[in-house]
Amino acid sequence: MATTTGRQGGRPLIQSTRGAIVAGHYLAGEAGMAEFRAGGNAVDAAAAAGFALTVVMPHQNGLAGEAPMLVQAAGDDAPVAVNGNGTAPAAATLEAYTGLGLDLIPGDGLLPAVVPATPAAWIALLRRFGTRRLADVLAPAIELAEGGFPMYDELHGVIAASADRFRRDWPSSAETFLTGPKGAPPPVGTIFRQGALAATLKALARADRLHRRRDDGLRAALDAFYRGSIARRIDRHCRQAVPDGTGTAHTGLLREEDLAAYEARIEPPVSVTYRGWRVHKCSTWCQGPAMLQALKLLEGYDLKSMGHNSADYVHTVVEAMKLAFADREFHYGDPQFVRVPFGRLLSAAYARQRRELIDAASASMELRPGGAQPLTARDVRAVNARFGAPSGPAHGDTTAVHAVDAAGTIVAVITSGGWLQSSPVIEGVGCPLGTRGQMFSLAAGHPNAPAPGKRPRTSLTPSLAGRTGRRAQWSFGSPGGDCQDQWALQFFLNVTAFGLSAQEAVEAPTFWSGHWPSSFYPRAAAPGVLHLESRIAPAVRAELRRRGHRVRVEAPFAGGNAMAVSIDAGGVLRAAASPRHEPAYAMGW
C-alpha cells in the first residue's frame, strides 16, 4: 500500500511497496497504476501511462512523436537505452534542404517530419522487458480517446492559441481539436473525444489480439503501424503542401518506405561516475551526455560547502553547463553516423582541463567548445539576427513517465513530439507528425547535419542513477527542451549533494541559462542570460548580476517540471512530482 510523508507547503512524497509511478498527467498515472494492479511490472505500467499521455497531453507529445527510454530490469547488471528517436527520411539530404534556399529547417509543418518513433519504442520495450499483452496496455488510452476526458486549462489554452491557424491552414486539425460550440476550442470542463486516434489505437490492439503468442502480437501491432494502412495514410499526408514557419508551403519528405525500414534500437547507455554514483544517459542522438560532462566538471568542487542555491553554487553550476553545452553544439550527433569523442569528452583529464576555464568571479559571454574556435556574444547575436523569428509556434513542450516495481525494474521515459500546434493532424490517424528534423544543422560537415536514416540530436533526455557498484535505483528527469538536463542536473545535485528528499528536490527553486543556441527553430540564444525563480534570495540575484550574469527573475515556480521514482535497499518505492504543472502526479501501490 502507498503512504505519504508530507511537509508543510508542498506535495507529499509518495511511498509504497508494490509499484510507484509518476506521469505528466494524473489520468496517465492512473493508467499505469491499473497495470500494476493487474499484475504488470514497471515496464507495463510505464507503457500504459505513455500511451495514455499521447491522448491526454497532445500539446506535449503524440503517438507519432518520440520517446527515448532508459530501463534497469530486475536481475540485469546494467541498464539499457531504447533509442526512441525518429530517423530522417531517405530524401532528407543536406542538399534537399539547402536546395530550397533554407538556412534552417522550419519547426512546423511537414518539412521537418521524421519517422514516428513512439509506437516502435514502446513495443520494443514491452517485447524485451514487459509481461502484459499490448491490447491490455492500450486499453486505458483507447478509453480516454474514445470516451473522452475533461478538457483542462493548459490544453485548452494551446488549442485556443492555434485555432486561427487550424481554420486557415490545417482543416484536419480544426476538425480534431475545434470541437466546441460553433467550431470553437472545447470549453474547460467539457468532455473531449478523439475518435480517429481511438481507431488507430484500436487497430494496434486488434493486430495484437489476432495472435495467441504475446511476441507475435507485438510484432503484428508494429507492422500495423509501420507497414500497413497507417503508413500509407502518413505517406499521402506528406505529399500535400502545408504552410510552415518559412512563410512558404512545403510538402514533407517522409514516405511509406521510411516507416517500413524503421527500428527502435536497444543499445547501451552512456555513463559516468560522480562522487560514488553512476549516472546513465542516452547517447549523443540526444543532449544527455552534456549533463554527464557537467557532472565531471562539477566533481572538482565542494558544492555542499558552497550552500544550496548560493551565488557561488549557482555561478559554478551555470558556468559548467555553458562549457558542456558548448561541446553539445559542436560535437554531438547520431553516433551511428559520426565519430563522437566520448573517451575525451567524458574523461577526468578533459574535465580538469576545461575546469580551468571557469572564472569564479566572472560569467562567460562566449561559447567555448573544446577543440573549436569560441563564438563571442556578438557572433551569436549576429546569427540570431540573420535567422530572425518564426512566424508561428516554434515547438511544443514535453512530458514524461517514470516507474519502479518491487522487483527493482525501473524505467525513465521522456516523451515528446507530434505536438498539435506544430503540424497538421494526419487524416484517418488522428494525430500530427513530429517535427524533430528542425534540430538538424544545415552546416556541411557538422556532426548533426541531416542524412538519410540519421537521427537528429534531440533535446529528450531521461536519466537513471545508482550508487557505484549497484544497479540503478533512481529514475528522474524534467520536460523543458534545452533546459531538461539543466533541471535534471539540479534535481540530482539536490539529492546527492544536499540530501533533499525526492519531493523536496523537485520543488526546490531552479535556475536555467539561455546562453547557448536553442535546439529548436529558429535557434535563438541569449548569451549570458540567467533565469532565476524568484524564490532564490535577492542577495544571491544581486551577486550574480555583479559577476556579469544577465539575470532575469521569473515566477516562483516557473522553471522545470521534474519527476522521479526510486527504490531503496529496504524495498521502499518512492515517487515525486513537481507542482509546477498541475496535471503531473505521483502515485503508489
Query: Full-prediction pTM beyond 0.85?
Result: yes
- Measured CA to CA, the distance from residue 417 to residue 414 in angstroms comes to 10
- Measured CA to CA, the distance from residue 121 to residue 420 in angstroms comes to 20
Distance between terminal CA atoms of the chain? 5
Cα angle, residue 321 at apex, residues 351 and 512 outer, rounded to 5°: 165
Would you state the pLDDT for residue 588?
97
The dihedral over CA atoms of 151, 154, 155, 156, expressed in degrees to the nearest 10, equals: 70
Give the mean pLDDT of 263-270: 96
For 191-210, the pLDDT digits (tens) are 999 999 999 999 999 999 99
For 278-292, the pLDDT digits (tens) are 999 999 999 999 999
pLDDT at residue 386 above 60?
Answer: no
Q: Which amino acid is at 203?
A: A
pLDDT at residue 4 above 60?
Answer: no
- Indicate the pLDDT class of residue 382, thresholds 50, 70 and 90: low
The fraction of the chain above a pLDDT of 90, given in percent, is 89
- Indicate the pLDDT class of residue 372, thresholds 50, 70 and 90: confident
Give me the phi and psi of 14, to 5 degrees please.
Answer: -80, 130
Grid cell 527502435 — which residue?
264
For 229-250, the pLDDT digits (tens) are 999 999 999 999 999 999 999 9
- DSSP letters, 424-483, are PBPTTT-SBPP-GGGGS--STT-TT---TTPPP-BS---EEEEETTS---EEEE--SGGG
Would you state the pLDDT for residue 380?
57
Non-local CB neighbours of 259 within 8 Å, separated by 6+ positions: 115, 116, 225, 226, 227, 231, 234, 235
Mean pLDDT over each residue of the chain, to the nearest integer: 94
Strands 474-477, 149-150: parallel, antiparallel or unpaired by DSSP? unpaired
Write out the three cell numbers for 252: 514533407
Helix or strand holding residue 150 (H, E): strand 149-150
Q: Is residue 347 within 8 Å of residue 297, measured between CB atoms?
A: no
DSSP 8-state symbol, 48? H
Report the SS3 class of residue 140: helix
Grid cell 505500467 — which residue?
45
Strands 529-533, 550-554: parallel, antiparallel or unpaired by DSSP? parallel
For 34-44, the pLDDT digits (tens) are 999 999 999 99
For 306-350, the pLDDT digits (tens) are 999 999 999 999 999 999 999 999 999 999 999 999 999 999 999
pLDDT at residue 395 above 50?
Answer: no
Report the SS3 class of residue 375: strand
Residue 168 exposed, middle or buried by CB count within 10 Å (0-12, 13-18, 19+): exposed
Write out the three cell numbers for 206: 486488434
pLDDT at residue 365 above 50?
Answer: yes
Residue 351 exposed, middle or buried by CB count within 10 Å (0-12, 13-18, 19+): buried
Would you state the pLDDT for residue 582?
76
Nearest of 513, 314, 475, 414 to residue 69 by alpha carbon: 414
- Measured CA to CA, the distance from residue 46 to residue 40 in angstroms comes to 10
For 446-484, the pLDDT digits (tens) are 999 999 999 999 999 999 999 987 788 999 999 999 999
pLDDT at residue 426 above 70?
Answer: yes
Report the SS3 class of residue 153: helix
- If one counts every other C-beta atom within 10 angstroms of the C-beta of residue 443, the result is 12
Write out the three cell numbers for 436: 524533430
DSSP 8-state symbol, 433? P
Write out the three cell numbers for 321: 553547463
